[in-house]
Amino acid sequence: MKIAGAGNVLSKEEAFRISQKLERFCDAASVIYLRSEILSDMHSSGDIGLSTADLKLHLADRRTAADVSALIEASLSQSESYALAIVDHHADGSMHQNGQSRLCEILREMCAPSAGEPEADQQGSPTHQIWIGSPGDGHAVLHVSLIGRHIWIVFEVENLERCVETWAHLA
C-alpha cells in the first residue's frame, strides 16, 4: 500500500489523518491478506511504512472468541471428509462424536485429563499435538486443546498434510 499527498509528499497533518484511517481499518478488518513480495526497502521520503509483522501482531490481538469458535467449526466440518473418528469433548461434560465406534471409544478414553496435557493459553489460543504410531500403524491422532474444550481426531497417516492444512489457521 502506498499513500501519497499532493506532489507525492505528505505533510505531518496528512500523515496523521491517514494513519488514523489505517488504524480504524485494521480494527474493523477480520482478515487482511498480505502479499509476500512486499519489499521493506521501498520507503522514501514522505511515505508511511507499516511492517507486515506489525500488522499481523495488531490483527492477532483482535481475534475474538467468536472468531476462534467459527474457525474451529469450519475445521471440524472439513475434517469430516478424511477423519476416521472425531470426539469433541466440552468442559460441561457434553461430548459429540462422529466416525468409527471403536476409534471413538479409544478417543473417549484419551479425553480423560492427564498431568502433562497441554492447555490453551489465557487468551484462548488453541494448542495442537499430533501423535503418529509405529511405521506400520498407519493411524495418527490430532489433539486440539482449548479453554473448556478438547477435540480429538483419528486419521490415516497419508492424510497428515491435509490435517495440518485444515487446522494450521488456528495456530
pLDDT tens digits, 56-73: 555 555 556 667 778 888
| Bridge partners (DSSP) listed for residue 89 | 95, 150
In terms of Cα–Cα distance, which of 46, 45, 38 is closest to 15? 46
C-alpha distance from residue 164 to each of 5, 12, 13, 106, 171 (Å): 45, 46, 46, 22, 10
The residues near 166 (Cβ < 8 Å, ≥ 6 apart) are: 75, 78, 79
b/e sequence 17-35, b meaning 16+ C-beta within 10 Å: eeeeeeeeeeeeeeeeeee
C-alpha distance from residue 168 to each of 72, 95, 171 (Å): 11, 23, 6
Residue 53 confidence class, pLDDT cut points 50, 70, 90: low
- The more confident residue out of 95 and 46 is 95
Q: What is the rounded CA–CA span in Å between residue 105 and residue 114?
A: 17
**Global pTM value:** 0.57
pLDDT value of position 3: 58
Neighbours of 85 (CB within 10 A): 22
pLDDT tens digits, 90-133: 988 899 999 999 999 988 888 776 534 555 544 556 788 888 87
- The more confident residue out of 31 and 144 is 144
Sheet holding 83-90, edge to edge: 95-99, 83-90, 149-156, 139-146, 127-132
